[in-house]
Amino acid sequence: MLTEYGPLGIVWFDRGMYTQEQGREFADLVHNLQPECLVNGRVSHYDKELLGDYQSMTDNGMPIGGIEEYWETPQTLNETWGYSQFDKNWKTPDEVIRRMVTIVSKGGNYLLNVGPTGQGIIPDPSVKILNVVGDWMQKNSESIYGTSPSPFPYELPWGYCTRKGSRLFLHVFDWPENGQLSLNGLNNKIEKAYSLLDPEEALTVDRDEAGGLMIGLPAEPPDVINSVFVLEIKRDPDIDPYIVEQDEDGSVLLDYLSASTSG
């Protein structure tokens, strides 16, 4: 396979019953015969040294926050990796898009699995999900492809953020009832704010007494699943560190992304 089929882009191991040292031999063999070929992280054991070119998460899993290595997570449309006529537990298009955006906002690659039947046919539920996801991507792919992770070291209450240069893409899944998108911690001057679907229609941007951004949203969400808004800023994002604050009802939210372990 490594010598008779021309240049290969990737060899994807799913880790069988072999040792860490055997995994090292596999990775070395691929890299020696195909220097430009990627090897995924499952060539090594999870609790051992990473031997591949990037980290592979557990099935349908993702890290709480971003990690230092390049990484990806394999995800299914239902609960089966191949085809099962008994597995009717399909994810909704909303859930698939949210998972994809979550992973990309943390710097990961979304590896989507589709299980065809024995006749090579993609099941109708898969087709329906993929059509919705494809429609969303046709309009919003600029906020996914070629982006870098969110610069915010904490969760955003309404969704997620991706970045491309001086543009921040705000993925709004939970539409604010007051029509104002709150974004705390960003100190940069906002050059322009707009919907990705309507760049010519500028949105109003103000700051509250604490310095947080208040972005005036359209009367209705531009997209029923995930509306993407763009902030154009100058220079790299200047983000405040996470600050523990008490809400009006007296509660305090301790964000796990800002936690550290000890002991």
Amino acid at 54: Y
Mean of pLDDT values over 98-106: 97
Residues 253 and 256: their CA atoms lie apart, in Å, by 9
Amino acid at 212: G
In the prediction, which pLDDT does 263 show?
Answer: 47
Instruction: List all residues 6 or more positions away from 88 whose beta carbon is below 8 Å from its beta carbon.
Output: 78
In the prediction, which pLDDT does 87 show?
Answer: 95
Strand, coil or helix: what is 71?
A: strand
In terms of CATH, what superfamily is 159-233?
A: Golgi alpha-mannosidase II (2.60.40.1180)
How far is CA 75 from each of CA 52, 68, 117, rounded to the nearest angstrom? 20, 21, 18
**Domain residue ranges in the chain:** 1-53, 58-144, 159-233
Instruction: Check residue 220 and report its DSSP letter.
Output: S
* pLDDT confidence bin for 258, thresholds 50/70/90: low
Q: Give 206-235 pLDDT, tens digit per residue.
A: 999 888 999 999 999 999 999 999 999 988
Going by C-alpha positions, the residue among 179, 186, 193, 240 that lies closest to residue 212 is: 186
Residue keyed to tokens 């690659």: 109
Mean of pLDDT values over 5-10: 97
Q: Give 124-153 pLDDT, tens digit per residue.
A: 999 999 999 999 999 999 999 999 999 999
